[in-house]
């Protein structure tokens, strides 16, 4: 399952990991556990995770912290704080694929921003915390104006519920202002997004992103926007799961993989983002539980490139919610047989569908690859002689984002 790693060219990967490890503060207890969990990862990429002596955290990362930002505020959020990680990310991002426009989410102290700019990218920084804005703006000036700073929360762009609570930024207006051009779906990548996926409301946010891409709205209106986001370890493992690691295989895995080409670019221990471990005076003893949780969490940089052929004659932005519903319902009973689920999904005879799909009648949900789900959906959509293809109904879905 961790095959995507292999796709990373050694030329890029090696220096990247070397860079990361130089700075990595490693808590010894966690090392073994983490190594065990990453068994499937090729040794090359695991090097960043184990076998390094604990080092004191470098102070340089925090030098750039603007004076006005209260420390407590930092603690609830995560930022890329180590310059070398920033360098790695910048290098991973700015490969030669013709897109140097990068939208950075919540750059905070601007360490990654600096690295990106220095590597020659054009950067749009969307910062949700007002306190960082002046600092980022000065950074832009210092580095020659290829930075555009805006005070906006990326994850609140284009809310899907229409009961508007706060004034929000409309991506249409925003992109217009930024002069971002629309590329058609089959064309290249108009924009790369980089940032850390929020832990707060994580599930909600995931669903929002998925709805956005399948419905081709929000940022995806402008083409196949590539996401490069740090997710926590568990979530990223789930994202990439398939029948080979059934324990992590979920409805979301299917939806992610059908929509995107999911690649693991890099694994970085939590400590690289951890304010308290980066600063010397560690005053507040955190509750045992939370610090332990943090130790266990590596962050994984996942690259999500939308598939060119995501939309087909059958799966469109008009009926994608049926696909969502189908997948979710199937995974309600992951170990159940597909044939049993089909009776709750479609009034069409289950055997006919299976025959059409050329699948064994005993196939279980857990044995089906993401592409099989897409195939299933398309098979049912295709069936000609039925007026009612689905039992699904609009009211059965309630979008909460």
Partner 1 sequence: MSALRWGRGAAGLGWALWPVGRPGLRAEEGTLGGLRGCRRRSSASPCEQDRRRDWGHAELLEVLEARVRQLQTNSVSEVRAKLVDVARLPKADGSQSPRKVEAGNEGAALGFTSHWAQKLHKEKLVMQRRKQKLEETLQKENRKHQLRVEPQLLNRELADWLQRWEHGSPRSPWEEQLAQLLQEAPKQLSRSEEHGHTGRISKVRYEAQQQRLLSFLECCLLVDQLPLAHHVLVKHHSKLRQQRALTLPMYNTLLLGWARKGSFRELLYVFFMMKDAGLAPDLLSYAAALQCMGRLNQEASAIQRFLKQMAQDGLQLQELFTNLPLCKEDKAVLLRAVRKAEPTFLPPQPPLSSSKVNSSPLLKEIYSTDKPATYPKQHLPLETLKDLFQQQLSVEMATVVTVESVETAPSLTKEVLQARKTLQELRTRWEEELCLALQQTKDREAQAARKGRPSLFPYLCLLSEGELTQLMLQALQVLPQQGESLLSLAQELGMRIFNRHVVQRKQLSDEVQALQERYFKYLHLLASDTQVVMSRLPREHWEALGTSEASQDQPWPLALVVQLGKQLAEVLVQTVKMPSNLAQPQDTQKLIPVLYHVYSFQSFRQIGILKPHPAFVQLLETAAERTMTFEAAEVPMLCPPLPWTSPHSGAFLLSPTKLMRSLEGTIQHQRLLEGCPPAELHGALDALTQLGNCAWRVNGRVLDLVLTIFNAKGCPRLGVPSPASEAPRPSKQRLPANASPELKTELRRELARCLKVAREMHSLRTDALYRLSLAHHLRHHVFWLPHNMDFRGRTYPCPPHFNHLGSDLARALLEFAEGRPLGPHGLNWLKIHLVNLTGLKKRESLQARLAFADEIMNDILDSADQPMTGRRWWAEADEPWQALACCMEIARAVRAPSPAAYVSHFPVHQDGSCNGLQHYAALGRDSVGAASVNLMPSDVPQDVYSSVAAQVEVFRRQDAERGVQVAKVLEGFISRKVVKQTVMTVVYGVTRYGGRLQIEKRLRELSDFPQEFVWQASHYLVRQVFNSLQEMFSSTRAIQRWLTESARLIARSGLAVEWITPLGIPIIQPYHHDSKVSIGGGIQSLTFCSSGDTSQKPNTLKQKNGFPPNFIHSLDSSHMMLTALHCYRKGLTFVSVHDCFWTHAADVAIMNQVCREQFIRLHSQPILHDLSTFLVERYCSGPRSTNAQVVKLQEMLLSVPKTGTFDLDQVKHSTYFFS
List, as residue ranges, the binding site for S-adenosyl-L-methionine.
Answer: 80, 127, 153
Question: Which two tokens mark 276?
Answer: 């308290």
Segment 70 to 109, residues that bind partner 1, using CB under 8 A: none
Residue 11 contacts partner 1 per CB under 8 A: no
CA distances from 115 to 102, 262, 345 (A): 12, 24, 50
Residue 392 contacts partner 1 per CB under 8 A: yes
Check the CA dihedral 244-245-246-248 and report its sign: negative
Check the CA dihedral 27-267-202-391 and report its sign: negative
Q: Which of 2, 52, 185, 369 binds partner 1 (CB under 8 A)?
A: 185
Residue 200 contacts partner 1 per CB under 8 A: no
Q: Which of 187, 332, 362, 371 binds partner 1 (CB under 8 A)?
A: 332
Residue 387 contacts partner 1 per CB under 8 A: yes
Q: Which of 340, 355, 361, 362 binds partner 1 (CB under 8 A)?
A: 340
Question: Which two tokens mark 313?
Answer: 């004659």
Cβ nearer to partner 1, comparing 223 with 370:
223
Q: How many residues bind partner 1 (CB under 8 A)?
A: 39
- Show the DSSP H helices in 26-132 as ranges: 28-37, 43-46, 60-63, 71-76, 83-93, 111-118
Cβ nearer to partner 1, comparing 142 with 397:
397
Residue 189 contacts partner 1 per CB under 8 A: no
Q: Which of 178, 189, 248, 391 binds partner 1 (CB under 8 A)?
A: 391
Check the CA dihedral 99-100-101-103 and report its sign: positive
Identify the helix (H) or strand (E) that includes residue 266: strand 260-269
User: Could you count the other beta carbons within 10 Å of the beta carbon of residue 17?
Assistant: 22
- Shortest Å, Cβ 52 to partner 1: 39
List, as residue ranges, the binding site.
Answer: 80, 127, 153
CA–CA gap between residue 155 and residue 157 (Å, rounded): 6
Q: Which of 166, 200, 288, 384 binds partner 1 (CB under 8 A)?
A: 166
Segment 311 to 330, residues that bind partner 1, using CB under 8 A: 311, 316-319, 325, 328-329
Dihedral angle computed from the Cα positions of residues 343, 348, 349 and 353, in that order, rounded to the nearest 10 degrees: -100
User: Could you count the other beta carbons within 10 Å of the beta carbon of residue 59?
Assistant: 10
Question: Which two tokens mark 101?
Answer: 């426009």
Segment 346 to 365, residues that bind partner 1, using CB under 8 A: 347, 349
Question: Which two tokens mark 400?
Answer: 């909460």
Residue 247 contacts partner 1 per CB under 8 A: no
CA–CA gap between residue 84 and residue 82 (Å, rounded): 5
Cβ nearer to partner 1, comparing 114 with 341:
341
Q: Which of 217, 245, 296, 314 binds partner 1 (CB under 8 A)?
A: 217
Q: Reduce the DSSP state of residue 192 to 3 states and report it.
A: strand
Binding site for partner 1 (CB under 8 A): 166-167, 185, 203, 215-217, 220-221, 311, 316-319, 325, 328-329, 332-333, 336-337, 340-341, 343-345, 347, 349, 387-388, 391-398, 400
């Amino acid at each position: 399952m961790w095959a995507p790693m292999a796709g990373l060219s050694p030329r890029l990967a090696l220096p990247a990991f070397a860079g990361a490890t130089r700075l990595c503060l490693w808590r010894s207890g966690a090392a073994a556990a983490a190594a065990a969990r990453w068994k499937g990862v090729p040794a090359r990429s695991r090097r960043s995770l184990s076998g390094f002596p604990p080092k004191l955290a470098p102070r340089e990362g925090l030098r750039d912290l603007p004076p006005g930002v209260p420390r407590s505020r930092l603690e609830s959020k995560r930022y890329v704080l180590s310059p070398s990680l920033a360098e790695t990310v910048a290098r991973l991002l700015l490969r030669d694929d013709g897109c140097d426009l990068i939208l950075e989410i919540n750059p905070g102290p601007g360490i990654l921003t600096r690295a990106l700019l220095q590597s020659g990218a054009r950067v749009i920084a969307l910062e949700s915390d007002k306190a960082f804005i002046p600092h980022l703006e000065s950074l832009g000036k210092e580095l020659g104006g290829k930075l555009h700073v805006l005070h906006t929360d990326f994850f609140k762009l284009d809310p899907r519920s229409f009961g508007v609570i706060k004034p929000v930024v409309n991506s249409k207006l925003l992109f217009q202002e930024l002069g971002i051009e629309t590329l058609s779906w089959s064309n290249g990548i108009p924009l790369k997004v980089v940032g850390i996926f929020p832990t707060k409301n994580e599930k909600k946010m995931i669903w929002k992103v998925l709805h956005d891409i399948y419905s081709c709205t929000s940022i995806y209106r402008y083409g196949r926007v590539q996401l490069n986001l740090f997710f926590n370890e568990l979530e990223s493992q789930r994202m990439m799961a398939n029948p080979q690691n059934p324990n992590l295989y979920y409805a979301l895995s299917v939806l992610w993989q059908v929509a995107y080409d999911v690649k693991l670019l890099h694994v970085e221990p939590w400590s690289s983002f951890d304010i308290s471990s980066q600063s010397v005076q560690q005053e507040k003893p955190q509750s045992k539980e939370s610090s332990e949780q943090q130790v266990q969490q590596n962050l994984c940089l996942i690259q999500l490139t939308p598939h060119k052929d995501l939309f087909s004659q059958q799966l469109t932005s008009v009926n994608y919610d049926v696909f969502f519903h189908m997948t979710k319902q199937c995974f309600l009973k992951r170990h159940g047989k597909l044939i049993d689920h089909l009776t709750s999904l479609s009034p069409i005879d289950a055997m006919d569908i299976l025959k059409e799909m050329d699948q064994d009648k005993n196939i279980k949900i857990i044995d089906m690859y993401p592409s099989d789900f897409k195939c299933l959906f398309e098979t049912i959509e295709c069936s000609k002689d039925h007026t009612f293809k689905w039992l699904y109904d609009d009211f059965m879905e309630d979008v909460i984002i």
